[in-house]
Amino acid sequence: MTTTVELTRFRVPPERADQLLAARPGMIADFRADRAGFLGARLVRLPDGEWLDVVEWRSPDDFAASRAKGANLPGIRAFFDLITEVVSTEEGTTHESEI
């Protein structure tokens, strides 16, 4: 099975990192309630106030539909509002194999 992966690199001032982490569960809950095809997400802290959000979707269409909705729910909006700069966004496809 392949999935679509959304990779978003963004900046949050270091003094707001705790707020970002506190807002994360609300964003995930809203995604689970409102986003068809949402499979899960991992948040990675990078150096210099940057973060990488790795979000997995069932299909490219599910990802596109989610993007169209934007920050339509309070938990999603609270998380997005803490982001001061989006550095990059990419979309890819997983290809799993046994090692």
Domain covering 4-91 in this structure, CATH number: 3.30.70.100
For residue 99, the model assigns a pLDDT of 58
For residue 96, the model assigns a pLDDT of 76
User: Which segments within 35-99 are labelled E, that is strand?
Assistant: 38-45, 50-57, 85-93
Separation CA 22–CA 41 (nearest Å)? 15
How do the domains of the chain map onto residue ranges?
A: 4-91
Q: Give pLDDT tens digits along the chain (99 positions).
A: 799 999 999 999 999 999 999 999 999 999 999 999 999 999 999 998 899 999 999 999 999 999 999 999 999 999 999 999 999 999 999 987 665
Quote the pTM value.
0.91
Separation CA 18–CA 16 (nearest Å)? 6
Check if the beta carbon of residue 12 is closer than 8 Å to that of residue 62. Answer: no
